[in-house]
Amino acid sequence: MTTPQDVLKSIPIFSTVLGDAQISALASRLGVTQFARGAVLMRQGEMGTSMFAIMKGAAEVTVHAAGGRESVATLGPGDLVGEISLMTGAYRNATVTATKALTALEIGKPALQSLLSESPELISRFAGVIEQRQAELHRIRKSAAHWDSVGLDRHAIENLMRSFYKS
């Protein structure tokens, strides 16, 4: 995976919804960001302004739970992180730290806005991924206090995304 288009095509959420021209258009609007080992891509509790598609390197996803910090996932090339916050306007629900030097595509709201209006089914796909991530976090934390307070199911996520991207 050497080009932004290759990375986007490797991520099912994009490749199954967007055609080649749409993927190329999205890729042309993205920046490539470098993170040194130990750098924090995002912090739990902060507002997110972008998501990242990892091109190379690795990152660890951790959540703060009652017993302290807990590692919940290791990410690598082709993985997407930060989509919940970017797509819904919610606060970050995990901290992501580079465990190796990392290169990622940074995908912000402006880059997605026109594609979401052209391909509304992308909202449904993102909502499905967000719903799945919520379920994973619930199982890991054994407490869904954060998401229970938000009360998001797939339908609510889709509505939140439609509302967030209208602004």
Give buried/exposed letters for 36-73 (b at 16+ CB in 10 A, else e): eeeeebbebeeebebbbbbbebbbebbbeeeeeeeebb
> What would the pLDDT profile of 40-77 be if each residue is shown by its tens digit?
999 999 998 899 999 999 999 998 877 778 888 899 99
Contact 31, 50 (CB under 8 A): no
> Given this model, what pLDDT does residue 15 score?
84
> Given this model, what pLDDT does residue 64 score?
83
Mean pLDDT of 131-141: 70
3 state SS for the chain: CCCHHHHHHHCHHHHCCCCHHHHHHHHHCCEEEEECCCCEEECCCCECCEEEEEEECCEEEEEEECCEEEEEEEECCCCEECHHHHHHCCECCCEEEECCCEEEEEEEHHHHHHHHHHCCHHHHHHHHHHHHHHHHHHHHHCCCHHHHHHCCCHHHHHHHHHHHHHC
Mean pLDDT of 36-42: 97
> Given this model, what pLDDT does residue 157 score?
76
78 to each of 30, 37, 154, how far by Cα in Å? 15, 18, 24
